[in-house]
Structure 1
Amino acid sequence: MDDYAQLLAELTAAGALGEEWRGAFERAPRSAFIPDAVWAPDEDTLSGYRRITRSDEPEAWWALADADDVVVTQLDDGADDGPGIATSSASMPSLVATMLRHLDVADGHTVLDIGTGTGWTSALLSARLGDRRVTTVEIDPAVAAEAARSLAKAGFHPHRAIGDGLDGRHQEAPYDRVHSTAAVRTVPRAWVEQATPGGIIVTPWGTPYANAGLLRLVVGEPGDPAHGRFVDNVSFMWMRSQRPHRVTDFAGAPGVRSASAMDPALALNDVNAAFAIGLRVPGVRFEHRWNRADPTGTYRLHLSDGADSWASVHYDEWHTEDTVLQAGPRRLWDEIVTARSWWLKEGRPSLSRFGVTVAADGAQTVWLDVPGNVVG
Structure 2
Amino acid sequence: MDAYARLTAGLISTGALGEGWRGAFARAPRSAFVPDTVWAPEDASPTGYRRITRGDAGAAWRELVDADGVVVTQLDDGVEGGPGMATSSASMPSLVATMLRHLDVADGHTVLDIGTGTGWTSALLAARLGDENVTTVEVDPRIAAEAAKRLKAAGFAPRCVVGDGLAGWSSGAPYDRIHSTAAVRRVPRAWIEQTRPGGIIVSPWGTPYANAGLLRLVAGDRGVESYGRFVDDVSFMWMRTQRPPRVTGPGTAPVHRTASVMDPDLALENVDVAFAIGLRVPGVRYVHTWDDADPQATYRMRLSDGEGSWASVAYQGWDSEDTVHQAGPRRLWDEITAARRWWLNHGSPELTRFGLTVATDGKQSLWLDNAAHVVG
TM-score by length of 2: 0.99
Does the Cα contact within 8 Å between 2:254 and 2:325 map onto a contact in 1?
no
Amino acid at match of 1:167: A
Amino acid at match of 1:23: G
Find out whether 1:264 has 2:270 as its counterpart.
no
Amino acid at match of 1:110: T
Per the alignment, residue 213 of structure 1 pairs with: 213
In structure 1, runs of 5+ residues without a counterpart are none
Question: Aligned to 1:217, what secondary structure does the other structure show?
Answer: strand
Cα shift at 1:172: 0.4
Cα shift at 1:252: 4.1
Of stretches 69-78 and 359-368 in structure 1, the one that deviates more from structure 2 is 359-368
Cα shift at 1:191: 0.2
Per the alignment, residue 200 of structure 1 pairs with: 200
Cα shift at 1:25: 0.3
Q: Distance in 1 between matches of 2:144 and 2:79?
A: 16
Q: Distance in 1 between matches of 2:359 and 2:256?
A: 40
Cα shift at 1:298: 0.8
Measured against aligned partners, the alpha-carbon deviations of 1:20-64 in whole angstroms (never above 9, x if no partner) come to 100000000000000000001111111010000000000001001
Q: Distance in 2 between matches of 1:282 and 1:254?
A: 21
Measured against aligned partners, the alpha-carbon deviations of 1:295-336 in whole angstroms (never above 9, x if no partner) come to 111100000000110000000000001100000010000000
Cα shift at 1:372: 1.3
Per the alignment, residue 38 of structure 1 pairs with: 38
Alignment of 1:238-277 (within 5 A): 238-277=238-277
Question: Aligned to 2:269, what secondary structure does the other structure show?
Answer: coil
Amino acid at match of 2:169: R
Of stretches 245-254 and 282-291 in structure 1, the one that deviates more from structure 2 is 245-254
Q: Distance in 2 between matches of 1:191 and 1:251?
A: 38
Cα shift at 1:253: 2.9
Cα shift at 1:18: 1.3
Per the alignment, residue 27 of structure 1 pairs with: 27
Per the alignment, residue 321 of structure 1 pairs with: 321
Does the Cα contact within 8 Å between 2:251 and 2:308 map onto a contact in 1?
no
Cα shift at 1:220: 1.1
Per the alignment, residue 279 of structure 1 pairs with: 279
Per the alignment, residue 345 of structure 1 pairs with: 345
Amino acid at match of 1:373: H
Q: CA RMSD in A?
A: 0.6
Q: Distance in 2 between matches of 1:15 and 1:308?
A: 46
Q: Distance in 2 between matches of 1:294 and 1:78?
A: 35
Per the alignment, residue 18 of structure 1 pairs with: 18
Per the alignment, residue 101 of structure 2 pairs with: 101
Per the alignment, residue 65 of structure 2 pairs with: 65
Per the alignment, residue 237 of structure 2 pairs with: 237
Question: Aligned to 1:87, what secondary structure does the other structure show?
Answer: strand
Amino acid at match of 1:79: V
Cα shift at 1:360: 1.0
Cα shift at 1:276: 0.4
Q: Distance in 1 between matches of 2:374 and 2:340?
A: 17
Cα shift at 1:361: 1.0
Q: Distance in 1 between matches of 2:106 and 2:207?
A: 31
Measured against aligned partners, the alpha-carbon deviations of 1:39-91 in whole angstroms (never above 9, x if no partner) come to 01111111010000000000001001100000000000000010000000000
Question: Aligned to 1:320, what secondary structure does the other structure show?
Answer: coil
Q: Distance in 2 between matches of 1:30 and 1:164?
A: 24
Does the Cα contact within 8 Å between 2:263 and 2:318 map onto a contact in 1?
yes
Q: Distance in 2 between matches of 1:225 and 1:117?
A: 31
Cα shift at 1:19: 1.4
TM-score by length of 1: 0.99
Per the alignment, residue 172 of structure 1 pairs with: 172
Amino acid at match of 1:244: P
Q: Distance in 2 between matches of 1:189 and 1:245?
A: 23
Of stretches 323-332 and 243-252 in structure 1, the one that deviates more from structure 2 is 243-252
Q: Distance in 2 between matches of 1:354 and 1:252?
A: 36
Amino acid at match of 1:203: S
Q: Distance in 1 between matches of 2:16 and 2:251?
A: 48
Identity of aligned residues (%): 70
Per the alignment, residue 150 of structure 1 pairs with: 150
In structure 2, runs of 5+ residues without a counterpart are none
Q: Distance in 2 between matches of 1:159 and 1:255?
A: 56
Question: Aligned to 1:245, what secondary structure does the other structure show?
Answer: coil
Q: Distance in 2 between matches of 1:373 and 1:230?
A: 15
Cα shift at 1:293: 1.7
Per the alignment, residue 140 of structure 2 pairs with: 140
Does the Cα contact within 8 Å between 2:205 and 2:213 map onto a contact in 1?
yes
Find out whether 1:333 has 2:329 as its counterpart.
no
Amino acid at match of 2:343: W
Give the number of equivalent residue pairs: 376
Does the Cα contact within 8 Å between 2:216 and 2:229 map onto a contact in 1?
yes
Does the Cα contact within 8 Å between 2:133 and 2:158 map onto a contact in 1?
yes
Amino acid at match of 2:41: P
Cα shift at 1:254: 3.8
Find out whether 1:302 has 2:318 as its counterpart.
no
Q: Distance in 1 between matches of 2:47 and 2:58?
A: 22
Q: Distance in 2 between matches of 1:306 and 1:88?
A: 24
Cα shift at 1:294: 1.3
Cα shift at 1:270: 1.2
Per the alignment, residue 357 of structure 1 pairs with: 357
Question: Aligned to 1:196, what secondary structure does the other structure show?
Answer: strand
Per the alignment, residue 371 of structure 2 pairs with: 371
Question: Aligned to 1:5, what secondary structure does the other structure show?
Answer: helix
Question: Aligned to 1:128, what secondary structure does the other structure show?
Answer: helix
